[in-house]
Amino acid sequence: MTSKALDSLLNKNIADLKERGLYNEIDPVQGPNGPEINIGGKTLVNLSSNNYLGLATDERLKEVAKQAVDSHGVGAGAVRTINGTLDLHLELEKRLAEFKDTEAVISYQSGFNCNMAAISAVMDKHDAILSDELNHASIIDGCRLSKARIIRFNHSDMEDLRTKAKEAVESGQYNKIMIITDGVFSMDGDIAKLPEIVEIAEEFDLITYVDDAHGSGVLGKGAGTVKHFGLQDKVDFQMGTLSKAIGVIGGYVAGKANLIDWLKVRSRPFLFSTAVSPADAVASTKAVEILMESTELNEKLWENANYLKAGLKNLGFDIGDSETPITPCVIGDENATQAFSKRLNEEGVYAKSIVFPTVPRGTGRVRNMPSAAHTKEMLDKALDVYEKVGKELGVI
């Protein structure tokens, strides 16, 4: 017999979320997550995937993954520190270090795990973390886990950051202070002001940490936000995922060799969670090699992104101040945002609604993620649907 108190709590809160337009419906995809997807037997133009470069369905990655299953099995079999470190993991880390132009890399099971692992392995209750107010949830949780004092600064406000950094240093309360920021902010598509952040860090001797989940494969000709600004020698932690532009699963932290050595002996997800599968490791390696050999996919991504952004802006949609392929169409009201996304779906475009708590209340948006795999015909279809639904619902 289940708890009546629990049932009452859950049923009441789920009903409340549905009434306020905050309940997230999950739509299972039938088949691959490509530029078009099949949901409920219907083919839709897919504008909600993080598969920036189309590598999640790339034949070259699929082939090496199949070979890895035959040569190494379907699972790593253990945590990395026992005997779960395969030669394939080491090759992945070697390639990633070359890609990011750092001394070394440690790989993890997910990007979320990276932030849970790396922040708490270095920062503790005697320290402070200066965190951008729009940082990703995994950064927020990683900071909380560290038990360090969290000092939020206004989004990309360098004057506020400098003021709070100065106050934290001069207080004498903290052994270490870290500045942590997304490289690309995933809901608005703007880029962190890394040159200014590094300047402030150098002024006050602060640790720098950049979560480049949405920058790797996108900026810096694919090498990421830090490389985009030429700051790979100035940033202590470069975190990235293998599940977005890379198209597979996992995450990594790149930095100096002594940092990576420390994370291998002190970061808990590395110590206590089984390593990613052989197929995932070798497919990620192949994706990184493709990006190192050619910028073709990166250039195609930007071509498609600029085309879609210009089209939506010309139609009169509010696409914010995005500087990257991430293209929000801001609607505002949560229920109106959900209704807009539903109508797009009915007309053949899958663009997911994003509402609180992922974004602040009253800033609901439909978030579009064009990829290198989209054709102009797909994007034109999406723009036609946006125009039809936008006029129908009074958004434009």
DSSP state of 348: T
**Within 10 A of 77 (CB to CB), how many other CB atoms are there?**
15
Active site residue 214: yes
Q: 175, exposed or middle or buried, with CB in 10 Å at 0-12, 13-18, 19+?
A: exposed
Q: Coil, strand or helix: which one is 190?
A: coil
The CA angle 39-342-324, to the nearest 5 degrees, is 85
Q: Which helix (H) or strand (E) holds 47?
A: none
- Given the residues 136, 214, 309, 352, select the one marked as catalytic: 214
User: How is 51-106 classified by DSSP, letter by letter?
Assistant: -TTSGGG-HHHHHHHHHHHHHH-S---SBIIIII--HHHHHHHHHHHHHHTSSEEE
- Given the residues 186, 267, 277, 371, select the one marked as catalytic: 186
Which residues, in sequence order, are CB contacts of 12 under 8 Å at separation 6+?
none
DSSP state of 274: B
- Given the residues 228, 244, 309, 352, select the one marked as catalytic: 244
Q: Which residues are identified as catalytic? A: 186, 214, 244
